[in-house]
Amino acid sequence: MKLREFLELRKTDGMFGVELEIEGENLPDHLPAAWRLTQDGSLRGNFPTQAAEYVMIKPMSLASTNLNIKRLTDHLQEVGAQPLFSHRTSLHVHVNCQELTWDEYSAFLYTSLLMERVLLNFCGQSRVGNRFCLRVTDAEGYLDDLRRLFRNGFRYFITGGGNANKIKY
């Protein structure tokens, strides 16, 4: 059974969703069509010209995701935005797992956990231990929630799915 079926969700097309949290100057409030603007409380500066979160409006294929990231970065350059990246800013890439079976989903999680330290090396030393980007070894309670998830399978999600305040997102 797939995760979508188990949770009785409507099918969502597209594989990737992206969120870009950004601080800086002259940030635009009008965006390319694939993006929406939201306010993020972890960012510093006036919304939306100095602190903004740009969120893809729906999941997309890899090719469409890459194209729309390019459109957004081109737009930022065209309007003269001056992004400043800090420990508060980040890029989140979400992966649509609705169509995965439990075996596929758990393999995806295991692989991501095994690769976590290696992947974080690409983010720079300032991200290690950063409270906005915690590894499983840094996040209190995350390991307990993972144990419950692997013990309960998809049933974990209908029993509350752990305490969101204790784990990374």
pTM given for the model: 0.84
How much is the average pLDDT of 111-126? Answer: 85
Q: Which residue has the higher pLDDT, 118 or 39?
A: 39
pLDDT of residue 164: 52
> For 136-146, how does the pLDDT look when each residue is reduced to its tens digit (9 = 90+)?
888 877 888 88
Instruction: To the nearest 10°, report the CA torsion of 103, 151, 120, 133.
Output: 130
C-alpha angle 144-6-155 in degrees, rounded to nearest 5: 25
- Report which residue type is found at 37: L
> For 48-88, how does the pLDDT look when each residue is reduced to its tens digit (9 = 90+)?
999 999 999 999 999 999 999 999 999 999 999 999 988 88
Residue 162: pLDDT band (50, 70, 90) is: low
Tokens of 50: 């100095």
